[in-house]
Chain A
Amino acid sequence: MMRQKLLAAAVAITCAGWPLTALGDDADGHMLAQACAGCHGADWGGQGPISDLRGYDHEAFLRAWAEFQADERPATIMNRIARGYSEAEIAALADYFSSLE
């Protein structure tokens, strides 16, 4: 009984950290997003002047990314970084961040 409850808790925690929606897609948003934590906060909640990515509007995220790629948005480093990702990866990141609270 106890064991079943613990197992259920383990599964719930697992799913919270790793949304199942991202697993079936072409790119793994949860894993791609790991890299962002190094500047945007360990839980992507922003750090100092660096923006909070949690709950980022899906369309706004895609638009911002495209503008970074095209040097149409003020940037020091995100323009260089943005050009290193494929469309599928960017979509997976947008899915992931828009799903975070």
Chain B
Amino acid sequence: MTRFLTRRQFGTLVSASAATLAMPGILRAENTGRLLIIGGGFGGASAARFARINYPDVSVTLVEPQTSFVTCPYGNLILGGKRALSDITHSYDGLRARGVDVIHDRAQEIDADGHRVTLASGDVLDYDKLILSPGIGLRWNAIEGYDEAASEVFPHAWWGGDGSQISLLRAQLEALPEGGVVGLAIPDNPFRCPPGPYERISMIAHHLKQANPTAKILAFDAKEGFAKQGLFENAWAELYGDMIEWIPASGDGRIMRVDPGNKLFISEFGEEHSVDMGNVIPPQYAASIARDAGLANDSGWVPVDPRTFEAEAASDIHVIGDANIGTPMPKSGYIANSTAKTAVTAALAEMSGRPAWDDPVYFNTCYSHAGEDYGISVAATFRLSEDGIAATPDSGGVSLQGDLSEMARTRRLEARYADAWYDSITDDMFS
């Protein structure tokens, strides 16, 4: 049986067969529709699991190039020495056991009119509804000199991939000379995981505090402020003394060019900063599959209907996760998970007869680890508004501010809750 066999043909072949019943969790009695999901991350895996549980009569196919998934969340804890790569690597076997047809291949081209996706192998998949959760692309050379080759010297570690980027960053950290300088280049909004760079700074400092206490961290930022800033800056002062220097755009923090050969970051005003190792988080846009399909606008991100996540540029394609424009929602794993489920109800409403969720509440919590037993968070719910999406007023927000002497218990609890979040949400994707 080759991959050329479409879902419809496959369904026809096995629907009347008792063999289907022998497969645990699989019910392909009536394929009332074919849901194709591209991308097996926080959006796509969540969509696949949710669809499989709640729409047993719809066939669900997931296309993802990686044979296991390395999460970006908790990647920073590898830098801090609190997790190993295996702790943040997840198998697709759980989704397979639920009856998701997981295909490890790269989706190459979307034919929106023909409702058809061509894979890198040349195989073609037909769909009735497409959930596209492709994640981000990195804008190579948006920072002059920062291309894919440069990322082998200055890792970005801003997608999970096969784990090699975060592992490289960890190895560089371990090899940092005594009293060495770690440089970070942090992009302007919008980008994946707004608090992520600052958790990363914290976890690098957490490692250096023990292994290399005279080292310095220079964090160059293209912005004037950042997520959970007060909480992070308080934590840095409490835990790491003067190890961390954060340089905002107005302080010449915008990095315009890098020179990996000479280990230099060059700022907007031409200042050359010599670093012993560098983490460059470049500007981003929607992954190429979405842009190539003509779904993105001039910003590089994909405009969608805020109720259904159907792309404005194509019907029957619902774009979720970091690739879409969901402002003011952050590009976070939790938002990808939350909106995935709404998008599935919208995509399958017609063929399942079950109504879409027409007054959705989108949900986000982002935990960050700022140190040992030191968790902080931001939470929000979002609803439809006249001009798109709005945060629910008088709710959500960040952890209580305060000195560690008074807040130790809260910080410790939030660190434990962060760990529980990670275990829960990855179960909600992969179990």
**A residues apposed to B, CB below 8 Å:** 2-3, 6-7, 9-10, 13-14, 17-18, 27-28, 31-32, 34-35, 37-42, 47-50, 76-77, 80-85, 89
Contact = CB atoms under 8 A, between A and B. Distances in A.
A39 B419 CA distance: 9
Contact of B416 (A3, A40, A48, A83): A48
B27 A38 contact: no
Given A9-B27, A38-B363, A76 B395 contact: no
Interface of B: 16, 18, 21, 27, 29-30, 49-50, 53-57, 334, 337-338, 341-342, 345, 354, 357, 359-363, 365, 377, 379-381, 392, 394-397, 399, 410, 413-414, 416-417, 419-421, 423-425, 427-428, 431
A57 to B, nearest CB: 22
A47 B422 CA distance: 10
Contact of B30 (A10, A28, A35, A81): A10
A80 B341 CA distance: 23
Nearest to B424: A47
B265 to A, nearest CB: 36
25 contacts: A2-B18, A6-B29, A6-B30, A13-B56, A14-B57, A34-B50, A35-B361, A35-B363, A38-B338, A38-B365, A39-B417, A39-B424, A39-B425, A40-B424, A41-B424, A48-B416, A49-B413, A50-B417, A76-B399, A76-B410, A76-B413, A77-B377, A80-B379, A80-B397, A81-B381
Contacts, number: 127
B400 to A, nearest CB: 8
Nearest to A9: B27
Main secondary structure of the interface of A (DSSP, over half): helix
A43 B411 CA distance: 27
A76 B362 CA distance: 20
A27 B359 CA distance: 8
Q: Which of A3, A10, A13, A32 has the most CB of B within 10 A?
A: A10
A42 B431 contact: yes
A39 B29 contact: no
B365 A39 contact: yes
Contacts of B57: 7, 10, 14
